[in-house]
Amino acid sequence: MAGSILISSDSHIIEPPDLWTERIDRGYRDRAPHVVREEKGDWWVMDGKHSMSFLGIQTGDRFEKASSELVIEAHFEDVRPAAYDPKRYVEENREDGVEASVIYPSEAMLLYSIPDSGLCSAAMRAYNDYIADFCSEDPLRLKGIALINVDDPKEAIAELERCRKKGLAGAMITVLPPADRGYDLPIYEPFWSAAEDLAMPISMHVATGRGVASVDTTQTSIKDVKPSAFYLQDHFVRKSIGEMIFAGVFERHPKLRIGSVEHEVSWAPFFLFQMDYTYTQRPVRGNWHRFADKSALPSDYFKRQCFMSFQEDAIGMRERETVGLGTLMWGSDYPHTESTFPRSREILERVLADVPQKDRQAITCDNVAKLYGFDLAALRA
């Protein structure tokens, strides 16, 4: 990857402890996410429940330490300053060979777990203001993603429009809406139309289930989370994207872009096969949608309108033609523990070892630049 521009489609910031206590609407100030200090670390408290401690204190440590030596709690003062200082953020990522980044949150991803819709939306508005300010320090290299609560689609559209005006480049929605509010329902049609009109790519990131608490109520600590919470994460994004395709959402909204972030890629080839098989080989049940184009398959809409952000999926890269080269975007996940920082170029050389240079360019730069409007000429200059 020497000499080429890298753009991370999935990077993160670490929220400062006063983000919500300073920025949230006054009516929710007494319920705002805040930090409490414990012996081994500072913990975020969200709507009365502990969620997680501070990430960003051991970026790169996984290359030097055994997993048993890595920690899941720390004090904020131990967080690397570059994780919340935009100027240092740019400098540190450029040292890793990453010229520009699409920015997602850390703690704020868990806002989707807040059952109270009003509090959820208010906390997201506060975060959106914060990340817009953060990215304004270097809009050439930093593109922020807004958080949108779609419980009320009309309210969601208003926030989407506000965030576009503030300069945010895309928006995130829950990867797992409530069971009776799936993305195949017509209530979301105005929202999909608004995302099209505003040219706002919509992404679904891991750990953003609506109403799913970060720590199970039967657990006393995040330390008790089962491994399946991590290795089965792609289940939810498959469900949501599949429901949208089979409901004809992409057919009705041809400019809508929907993305999977941090779920990797290897699940997608079989997922596409299963969707196409279901559409062509299984008898129609009830009011299943049929595409107006008789030759169209579910996989066609996926390749045309979906995108996938990955970190280290060499198997997925071997299947890049199956899922569509144009869907693929690499992300460093900086500054999280599992980030490729500070070995991003080294890791990409391994993951993309058998990938031609033209395809590498698309995966590590061109696709994300086109989707989010990065100015490649200015970055190269």
Going along the chain from its start, the domains and CATH numbers come out as 7-380 (3.20.20.140)
Q: Which tokens go with 340?
A: 């490729």
In the prediction, which pLDDT does 2 show? 55
Q: Please, what is the angle between helix 298-305 and helix 234-246, to 10°?
A: 110
Residue 167's alpha-carbon distances to 89, 103, 137, 162, in angstroms, are 19, 13, 12, 9
pLDDT at 215: 36
Q: How many CA atoms lie within 13 A of 144 on its CB side?
A: 27
Contacts of 307 (CB under 8 A, 6+ apart): 9, 201, 203, 257, 258, 259, 260, 326, 327, 328, 329, 367, 371
Global pTM value: 0.95
* Residue at token pair 């996926």: 302
Q: In degrees, to the nearest 5, what angle opens at C-alpha 333 toward C-alphas 199 and 349?
A: 105
pLDDT beneath 70, residues of the chain = 1-3, 211-224
Query: What pLDDT sits at residue 1?
Result: 62
Q: Which of 11, 8, 14, 7 is nearest to 80 (CA)?
A: 14
**Contact of 209 with 112, CB cutoff 8 Å:** yes
C-alpha to C-alpha distance for 263 and 9, rounded to whole angstroms: 13
CB 332, CB 161: distance < 8 Å:
no
The span from the CA of 233 to the CA of 186, in Å, is 26
3-state SS class at 163: helix
Task: Give the pLDDT of residue 224.
Answer: 67
312 and 335 in contact (C-beta within 8 Å)? no
SS (H, E, C) 273-321: HHHHHHHHHCCCCCCCCCCCCCCCCHHHHHHHHEEEEECCCHHHHHCHH
- pLDDT number for residue 230: 78
pLDDT at 220: 43
Element (H, E) at 270: helix 268-281
Residue from 59, 57, 106, 105 nearest 79 by CA: 57
List, for residues 284-294, the tens digit of each pLDDT value. Answer: 999 999 999 99
Q: Specify the pLDDT at position 219.
A: 41
Nearest to 37 by CA among 50, 47, 24, 28: 50
Structure-token pair, residue 194: 């608004």
DSSP string, 223-255: GG--THHHHTTHHHHHHHHHHHHHTTHHHH-TT
**d(Cα 181, Cα 188) in Å, to the nearest integer?**
9
The confidence score (pLDDT) of residue 69 equals: 96
| Strand 49-53 relative to strand 42-46, pairing | antiparallel
| E strand intervals along the chain | 6-12, 34-37, 42-46, 49-53, 98-104, 142-147, 170-172, 202-205, 258-261, 306-310, 328-330
3-state secondary structure of 172: strand
Q: 255 vs 62, 139, 318, CA distance in Å?
A: 40, 24, 28
What distance in Å separates the CA atoms of residue 44 and residue 53, rounded to the nearest whole number? 6
